[in-house]
Amino acid sequence: MRTQVGIVGAGPAGLLLSHLLAGAGVDSVVLETRSRDYVERRVRAGVLEHPTVELLREVGLADRLDREGMRHEGISLRFDGGDHRIDFADLVGKGITVYGQQEVVKDLIAARLGDGGDLRFEVTDVTLDGLADAPVVGFTGADGRREELQCDVVAGCDGFHGITRDAYDPQMFDRTYPYAWLGILAKAAPTHHELVYANHPHGFALYSMRSPEITRLYLQVPPDTDVNNWSDAQIWDELGTRLAARGFTLNEGPVLEKGVTGMRSFVAEPMRHGRLFLAGDAAHIVPPTGAKGMNLAIADVRVLAEALTTFLRSGDETGIDGYSDTCLRRVWRAEHFSWWMTSMLHVPPESDPFGRRLQLSQLRYTVTSRAAATTLAENYVGLPHGVSP
């Protein structure tokens, strides 16, 4: 087979890249090891930055998002028994939208298949060769037949555990945090219209939602936590304790999903090797406290789609040569913001009275200083695409 861009991975990064390229008249083939059903059901983050929403609208992918997405114009920081709202609309004139990552994936798959896009699910044994100048992607299709895909460039959009980053030896920057999140998805209508970030002596808690009928909630736990040691009743009880505030009620309901997620920061530099370009989680991971993961992936592929289109149409390599540096400036800004939110809101695993008082001081400053609150709001809703932080 022959195509212009071989895309490994059918998450938001790979699918959106294929869609953007198609709009510019550039051919691509998307290869995914999982089934279509799996990638459409895989529950991930659900906070879309303002620039992400604007891009999806711009390229015709926001019909369902605009109908079903939940617009938020602020968040609450809850600590010391008080609730403090950060008003995004007042501070920066923008907001975020809660719309599950799996819903974005569904919309992208439907759009690509509707336009005749070439998506290959359930492929195995993916290999990369000729990345210096003539890439070949080998794979075994769902029918068991071995095939080779010749292409001009390869986009590695296959996540942190994918194979594309292993094709070269980037410099790794890594930090593992001494806590994890125990998360549940519950069939319980939200009782609060915006996300709540709680710093409690027992540990961090996050109150969020996925729809008017489904809530998504998290508790800070040790990284080695066995989810089977937490009953549903214990989880609800601890959530009630950590999220407690005057006038706040917590709806309980059947737990649909339960799991423990470790927290880490990771960046691979550079994000390019010859004709291979990494995007999204293949190149960087952020702790989820800052709600940046999917948004960074989308920002990456917006830059990459433009750079590849220019290169493939005219041979101009300016965009692809600058791709890694351009994306990494935004990546490191998001890494810092996510680290800052994480360190401000999570209780250290060992007793640290001095550190605890520093946390509370930072929280009080953030909710009483307009300048500090604006910094949080500006980073949370997302810096405009095209701006180099």
Residues catalogued as catalytic: 72, 197, 288, 292, 380
C-alpha dist (Å) from residue 297 to 166, 281, 291: 19, 7, 12
* Residue 367: CA count within 13 A, CB half-sphere: 18
By DSSP bridging, strand 96-98 and strand 70-72 are: antiparallel
Contact call for residues 242 and 80 (beta carbons, < 8 A): no
Task: Return d(Cα 177, Cα 187) in angstroms, integer.
Answer: 30
Comparing CA positions, the residue from 327, 329, 331, 335 lying closest to residue 287 is 335
**Structure tokens belonging to residue 379:** 């980073």
Comparing CA positions, the residue from 175, 180, 128 lying closest to residue 155 is 128
Task: Return d(Cα 324, Cα 76) in angstroms, integer.
Answer: 35
Task: Return d(Cα 75, Cα 85) in angstroms, integer.
Answer: 6
Q: Say whether 27 sits in a helix, a strand or coil.
A: coil
Residue 254 CB coordination number (10 Å): 9
Phi, psi of 188 (to 5 degrees): -150, 125
Task: Return d(Cα 136, Cα 35) in angstroms, integer.
Answer: 23
DSSP structure string for 45-97: --EEPHHHHHHHHHTT--HHHHHH-EEE-EEEEEETTEEEEEEHHHHHS--EE
Task: Return d(Cα 306, Cα 255) in angstroms, integer.
Answer: 43
